Amino acid sequence: MSKIIYLDAGHGGADAGAVSGSRYEKNDNLNMAKAVKALLVKQGQAVIMTREDDTFVSLAGRTQKANEADADIFVSLHRNSFTNAAANGAEVWVYTSAGAVDVGAAAEVLERLAEVGVQSNRGVKKGNYHVLRESLMPSMLVELGFIGNAIDNQLLDTRFDAYAEAIARGICAALGVAYITGGTAQAEVLYRVQVGAFGVKANAEAFLAKVREMGLDAFLVTQDTAKKEE
C-alpha cells in the first residue's frame, strides 16, 4: 500500500533563502524535491509537494497543506548557510521534543546521504523550526550542505542523482516501504479463490493454501461475499 509523502522545497518566490553569488537556495531545494518526487512516484508512492515552481508559500501554508493531506511523513529540503565559508556537511533536523520515530526517520535519510558521500556528516539535530513543530506527522528538515562552501556545492552538483535516490531510499526505509533499485514498484495483486468453483469449501481452502505457499496474496470468496461485491 502506498504512503503519502509530503515534500517541502524550502523557500521560493520572493524568499530566495540563502544566496551565494548567482546560486539561490530556493532553486537547489526545488530541483532536488522534483528529483526525489520522480523517484518516489516510480516506487508507487503518493507524493504531495509544497510547490512545483518558483512560488512563495508561507510556513503556515506548508504545514497546513501537509496536515490536511494526512501525510505519513513530512520532508523539508534546504541548503545550509554560515558566515564562515569553511562550514560544510549535511545534517538533518527534527523538532526539539521529537521522539524515536522522527529521529529514526531522519537517521535513515542522513545515513544514505553519507553513504553516497558528503564532505562531513553533521548528524541528526533538534530545533524549533515551524515546519517541524506544526506538522502532525513524523517530520524532518534536510540540509544538503552549505551553499557558501564550494566543495559542498560541487558534491551536490556532481552527485545530484545519487543524493536524490539516497533521500528517496531513506524516506522509504523510514516508512517501512521496500525500495526497488532500477525498477518500478509493481501494483499489489490479489487473487480470489471462489468456493463455488470447487463445490466443496474444504477443496477451495486446500487450493488457497497452495496459492499462498507460492508467495501470492489470495483470499477466499463465498457465494454470499461475491454477491455483496457485485
Instruction: Verify whether residue 143 is a known catalytic residue.
Output: yes
180: in domain: no
162: in domain: yes
Q: What is the pLDDT of residue 227?
A: 37
Q: What is the pLDDT of residue 203?
A: 72
Question: What tens digit of pLDDT does each residue of 150-177 get?
Answer: 999 999 999 999 999 999 999 999 999 9
Same domain, 167 and 200: no
Same domain, 121 and 34: yes
- Domain hosting 208: range is 190-229
Q: Quick one: what percent of the chain has pLDDT higher than 70? A: 81
Q: What is the pLDDT of residue 201?
A: 74
CATH number at residue 31: 3.40.630.40
With b for 16 or more beta-carbon neighbours within 10 A and e for fewer, the 97-107 pattern comes to: ebeeebbebbb
Q: What is the pLDDT of residue 228?
A: 36
Q: What is the pLDDT of residue 196?
A: 61
Is-contact 137 101, C-beta < 8 A?
A: no
Question: Model confidence at 205, in pLDDT bands (50, 70, 90)?
Answer: confident
Query: Could you say which of 143, 165, 205, 229 is catalytic?
Result: 143
How many residues are there in the chain? Answer: 230
182: in domain: no
Same domain, 160 and 208: no
